Structure 1
Amino acid sequence: MKIIKTTLPTNSILNTLDKKYDYTDSFQGIVYDPKNDFTSTDLGKAFFRSGPKWVGALFTLRNKIVSLFGLKTSNINKDRKKLLENFKCEPGDQLGLFKVFGKKENEVILGEDDKHLNFRVSLFKKQYTNGEKNKEIIVSTTVEFNNWFGKLYFLPVRPFHKIIVPIMLKGIIKELEKK
């Protein structure tokens, strides 16, 4: 399964907000959708089911460290399976650190606003040009720094982010193809 670096889709909700982001990246992969029935809700749920255990361990470490600075932390490990079953992926819903900020037929926007930075993750699907049963899945991240601490916080996060997102995208694709 090949994951490539790409750009934020032109018709993404994040690209229509006329905002200037301090950081943006996008990664793309192809998913086989034989019934042509993957929804944006399926994408959102696959996102939460796709992370390797070591990413969860990194988030646990992150939460312990940032709680010392008064930043937001997640509590997704409690009854995770039940939380995912009940997750509707509708604007305003929250799962762990990720709030649903927007949703269209082909896209879900997750993220959080905090005192140091605001981030958004776009989970975007579109028809793949080489096959009607294939879809492109594009995961894009945008970050806006709210102050110097946001810039400082993101320095060590950035290299991990560039490793984690392609791995998670592979997991999202595997999760969708199980459906």
Structure 2
Amino acid sequence: MALMMQMSMTPTKTAPRLPDPALPLADWADRYEIVVPARELTAIEAARLALGHFPRWVRVLMAIRNAAVAPFGLKSSGYHSPNTVEMIGLFPVLSQSAHQAVLGFDDHHLDFRIVVDVDDSPKGKTVGVTTLVRRKILFGRIYIAVITPFHNLIVSAMLSNVGRRLAGSETR
């Protein structure tokens, strides 16, 4: 219990590393991290906790986003590639290992990847979410500029939820 009180359930924004093998030509990236109570946790489990269940306000924002971009022929979030083996929330899983899960898809205006990773830390596990984007055309640049403030709120909320869920499971 004392360890939980010392841990901040607020994610921190950290510097992403570029280039990243998940999307080598990415020209935009951000990264958030949170330290959660120590337990066995794989990257795919962390991805499911973060991306599997969005709060209602995020679902409303995504519905507005999908309606706004539909006239431009953009894929909606939740696009299913014929080769997709697994989906987590709205996103196809592209690859996974014990320490890293990569989700995302390519569209004509931009390619994006969400990289969820889990590493040991002195206070538990560090769960990181890196968003990588390769903006292909002007519309991709405009799109990222418009959604970035919302993206920051959403990613921070997702990671906070992971922290709260895992902290709650430690007290049971």
Give the TM-score of the pair, scaled to structure 2.
Answer: 0.80
Deviation at 1:21, TM superposition (A): 1.7
Q: Which runs of 5 or more residues in structure 2 are unaligned?
A: 1-8
Q: Which runs of 5 or more residues in structure 1 are unaligned?
A: 77-90
Counterpart position of 2:32:
27
Contact 2:104 2:114 in 1 (8 A): yes
Counterpart position of 2:115:
122
Counterpart position of 2:103:
110
* Cα separation, 1, equivalents of 2:62 and 2:154: 12
Counterpart position of 2:12:
4
Counterpart position of 1:52:
55
* Cα separation, 2, equivalents of 1:57 and 1:17: 29
Runs of 4+ in 1 over 4 A off after TM superposition: none
The RMSD of aligned alpha carbons is 2.4
Deviation at 1:102, TM superposition (A): 1.4
| Cα distance change, pair 168–17 in 1 and its aligned pair in 2 (3 A) | closer
Structure 2 residue corresponding to 1:157, chosen from 131, 147, 166:
147
Q: Percent identity?
A: 29
* Cα separation, 1, equivalents of 2:167 and 2:53: 12
Structure 1 residue corresponding to 2:94, chosen from 101, 111, 133:
101
* Cα separation, 2, equivalents of 1:96 and 1:138: 18
* Number of positions where the alignment pairs a residue of Structure 1 with one of Structure 2: 157
Contact 1:117 1:146 in 2 (8 A): yes
| Cα distance change, pair 67–18 in 1 and its aligned pair in 2 (3 A) | closer
Deviation at 1:96, TM superposition (A): 5.3
Contact 1:28 1:139 in 2 (8 A): yes
Give the TM-score of the pair, scaled to structure 1.
Answer: 0.77
